[in-house]
Structure 1
Amino acid sequence: MDKVLSRSQLVNWRTAVFTIFFVTGLGFASWASRLPAVKRDLGIDDAEIGILLFISGAAAIVGLSIANVLVVRLGARRGMFLTIVTFSLGVAVVGLGVEFLESYAVTAIGLALMGVGMSATDVMMNVEAAAVEQAFEKTLMPLFHAFFSLGTVAGAGIGVLMAVWNVGVAWHLWVIGILVLIAGLVALRAVPIRETMHDDPATPATRRERLAEQLAVWRDPRTYAIGAIMLGMAFAEGSANDWLTIAMVDGHGETEAVGAIALTVFSVSMTVFRVLGGPIVDRIGRVWTLRVLAVAAGLGLILFILAPNLPIAFVGIALWGAGASLGFPLGMSAAADDPAKAAASVSAAATIGYLAFLCGPPALGWISNQIGILPTLWIIVGLIALSGLASGAARPIAGSKVGAGHPHH
């Protein structure tokens, strides 16, 4: 049985999870914002960038696969200690590979470490966030993801400055890697040790039972329906993080700095809507929120692809970011509706979402090499439509404390 936490312990726990979301976003966007420089320094084309992203994605799938095992064996708290260290090390190795060694192979190793560390951390921090949300009994998941987006805004913004000032990729990523490590490990100290997160030591027999519980959710059709919502929006978000800078430079003929500004605009738009998301969901409910935002994301992406000038491209980017903002967090929130299997369900939903988030962008790189980056983005428009059509699956189950909406309050 988990002990009842005091108000200050709950607030500290929430702040700790906010911090972990933030530094994960910071580390990831720091790498993404320097993609044009990585391409130039290593002397590679879009297809080879796609291979790097595929390696990162494949490693991330490994991270997703081992996240459940880490939770069962070590608990979410100790598991995150291990994965944050791995992620930070990966960020540093990428910097070394790109600039000092100019080695495609070393860069790929760094990205593999980043992929494993980030995706496993992501599953565990979403499990923790869902537990915090249920403890506070209000929609907080978009706000947690807003902190991830704030991290990406900070990462992209710093990336703009680094590109303008011609700071090398290595020094940039080394400093970020150290920041992620220190902030992440300090935050973990405020995460409570809880039996439901398997933070208590377990015997091998108990671990087997726990793993069986984790795997049982894959037989629940609702897991896949929620996964369909997250699939389209994860593609919409992941493609922007990995390809927006390059779409601006190669597709619309802008400078690297404008490409980095575009990623910043996308990240700011996502962040604003994630901050506003909780109150909106508590007013109109999860399902309608997701439907409206799917329309916004699709319209924004179409505007960006067809934009005849820069202002219209930026309007499209802002709508794309706003529309893509809540699919992932509300999918997580829906998965956590049943407290008895929240940890396992959130892990499963995160796995489906992250498969799209991580595998989509490398596939887009390959297609882009055949037909160009802007025509490739039409694929995402179709997937956003799929996400909108699947929104009904996010309707809260009986007894859930969040997500139904209260239109008359």
Structure 2
Amino acid sequence: MTPPAPPLPGLARARWLLVGLFALAGIAFSSWLARIPTVRDLLDLSTADLGLLLLVGSIGSLLTVTASGAVLQRLGSRRVLLVSTVVLGTALVLEGVGPTVGSRGLLGVGIFLNGVAVALGNVAINVESGRIERAIGRTVIPQFHAAFSIGAVVGSGVGAVASATGVPLVVQMPATAAVVVVWRLASLRGVVLPPTPAEREARAAASAVVTPADVTPADAVPGRAARTLPRVPVRVRRGAARIASALDAWREPRTLLVGVVVLAAAFSEGAANNWLSLAVVDGFGSTEAVGGVVLGVFVASMTAVRLLGTRLLDRYGRVAVLRASGAASVVGLLVFGFAPTLPLAGAGVALWGLGAALAVPIGIAAASDDPLRAAGRVAVVSAFASVASLVAPPVLGLAAEAVGARHALVLITAAMIASVVVAPSVARDAARGTVGAGTAGGAASDVVGADATGAGGDAAHRPGTRRPPRGPGRGSVPRPRRTPAPTAPRGGAR
């Protein structure tokens, strides 16, 4: 038996710091969303107007996430987190000041910058969660998302208490910004694992792009051509390799189907975050504080399942868990949309949250199966999430104008059904990094399970087992023949 690899230096510290960053993201996110009714009242917005303002944030997120994979590979996770921290702090301040001074423009800028910061930071922390899971050797990604949900519960509580006690937005949001900036800056030093020797080797191998100047001996070129043949700088070649690797993921059918799963999950979770408290206020004549509590029920349900998600996934597999999650969401949404009383509707919200819990972690894990291509693929599925955020506000806003916010949320069942249909795409491949016959494939992973299959059809993870290296698939960056298949991610610290 192959002895287990020694733990990486700083692994435990990086894991807990990353858990803290996920929790902080939930706090910042939900404390703002719990005050949406206040924002609407301060600016005298209709539901359609509010949907259009929220759309601005989705546009910022989409524009950012399409390039975030290449940016992450170029700058590394630590620098990306630093930039996103500065942008997020600015956004939170504007989201508090804009409604207070009655400026839709300032609020729109704040929401846009929030979308930019969240998209950039989320790709970085999700890639780092994949690196930590591979270093540990067992499923832990749902625990990071559970931390986000715990933070969201805390944030919803903060928003509800602030609303009930009359704390103005202009006080709450700048205070939140200060906590976010200090917390994230304090975490930067240890949250990113140092690159392992295998990761350095993989980056060097993937950067070895062959050019005519590299393979043609100078003496073999007649005349002056030998002295004038241009040579491409190493840094330029490496940058081209990173960009090509990040863009390859957009041509992979499996990655796109995983993106559909994440799109449906983001549509469901985002709709709850944006509209649930308002739907409770308008649909049942409740106070804003009650709406915040119901939103807390949703995120608390998600938290409970995410804490148990590692065992569920290890026992039943990704596909079976995703299908069950979609069915639970559909039932919960129908109960919430048509329940005659608030307690029964609250039970539907709890079931909806149970179903919404694991779809995003499953999608991120599926996109991270091949560590070398994790950054590009996580960026692609994150772009699908941004598309959901782009579509949901105006669609649900217009539907809410016609039938009310509570009944409009029933439209999400269509996305849940689509997620169930494409659920087989999240299963582990026999060799991680391949995406099916005839598609743009990647290099084989460093560690895979070859023969064990879970109930959901996923190949089981067996630390210590290595597959023979495979050559680069169609659409990948050309590499010299003597280079072995890379086995580690390139999205980490430099």
CA–CA distance in 2 between the matches of 1:346 and 1:114? 19
**TM-score normalised by the chain length of structure 2:** 0.78
* 1:85 and 2:86 correspond: yes
CA–CA distance in 1 between the matches of 2:263 and 2:6? 35
**TM-score normalised by the chain length of structure 1:** 0.93
* 1:386 and 2:418 correspond: yes
* Structure 1 residues 157 and 5, CA gap change in structure 2 (3 angstroms): farther
Q: What is the match of residue 44 of structure 2?
A: 43
Which of the numbers 253, 256, 280 marks the counterpart of 1:224?
Answer: 256
How much has 1:375 moved relative to structure 2? Answer: 2.7
How much has 1:136 moved relative to structure 2? Answer: 1.3
Higher share in helix: 1
Q: What is the match of residue 130 of structure 2?
A: 130
Find the residue that maps to 1:396 and give its secondary structure.
coil
Letter in 2 for 1:269: S
Answer yes or no: is the 8 Å Cα contact 1:237–1:357 preserved in 2.
no
- Give CA deviations for 1:76-126 in whole Å, capped at 9, x if unaligned: 211111012211210111111111x22111111111111100111111111
Following TM superposition, the consecutive aligned residue runs of length 4 or more in structure 1 with deviations greater than 6 angstroms are 197-202
* 1:183 and 2:178 correspond: no
* Structure 1 residues 21 and 5, CA gap change in structure 2 (3 angstroms): farther
Larger Rg: 2
Q: What is the match of residue 371 of structure 1?
A: 403
Find the residue that maps to 1:377 and give its secondary structure.
helix
Q: What is the match of residue 22 of structure 1?
A: 23
How much has 1:131 moved relative to structure 2? Answer: 1.4
* Structure 1 residues 169 and 222, CA gap change in structure 2 (3 angstroms): same
* 1:64 and 2:96 correspond: no
CA–CA distance in 2 between the matches of 1:382 and 1:295? 11
> Equivalent residues in 2 for 1:256-271 (5 A)?
256-271=288-303
Answer yes or no: is the 8 Å Cα contact 2:334–2:348 preserved in 1.
yes
Find the residue that maps to 2:10 and give its secondary structure.
helix
- Give CA deviations for 1:17-45 in whole Å, capped at 9, x if unaligned: 21221111111111100000111111111
Answer yes or no: is the 8 Å Cα contact 2:66–2:379 preserved in 1.
no
CA–CA distance in 1 between the matches of 2:331 and 2:108? 35
* 1:287 and 2:319 correspond: yes
Letter in 2 for 1:340: L
Letter in 2 for 1:385: I
How much has 1:72 moved relative to structure 2? Answer: 3.0
Find the residue that maps to 1:189 and give its secondary structure.
helix
* Structure 1 residues 256 and 345, CA gap change in structure 2 (3 angstroms): same
Letter in 2 for 1:179: V
Q: What is the match of residue 241 of structure 2?
A: 209
Q: What is the match of residue 32 of structure 1?
A: 33
Matched residue count: 404
CA–CA distance in 2 between the matches of 1:141 and 1:168? 36
How much has 1:8 moved relative to structure 2? Answer: 5.3
Q: What is the match of residue 162 of structure 1?
A: 162
- Give CA deviations for 1:191-214 in whole Å, capped at 9, x if unaligned: 134385999998233111101011
Q: Percent identity?
A: 33
* Structure 1 residues 205 and 5, CA gap change in structure 2 (3 angstroms): farther
How much has 1:248 moved relative to structure 2? Answer: 0.5
CA RMSD of aligned residues (A): 2.3
CA–CA distance in 1 between the matches of 2:19 and 2:203? 20
Q: What is the match of residue 253 of structure 1?
A: 285
- Give CA deviations for 1:35-68 in whole Å, capped at 9, x if unaligned: 0011111111111111110111111112212312
How much has 1:293 moved relative to structure 2? Answer: 1.1
CA–CA distance in 1 between the matches of 2:430 and 2:15? 25
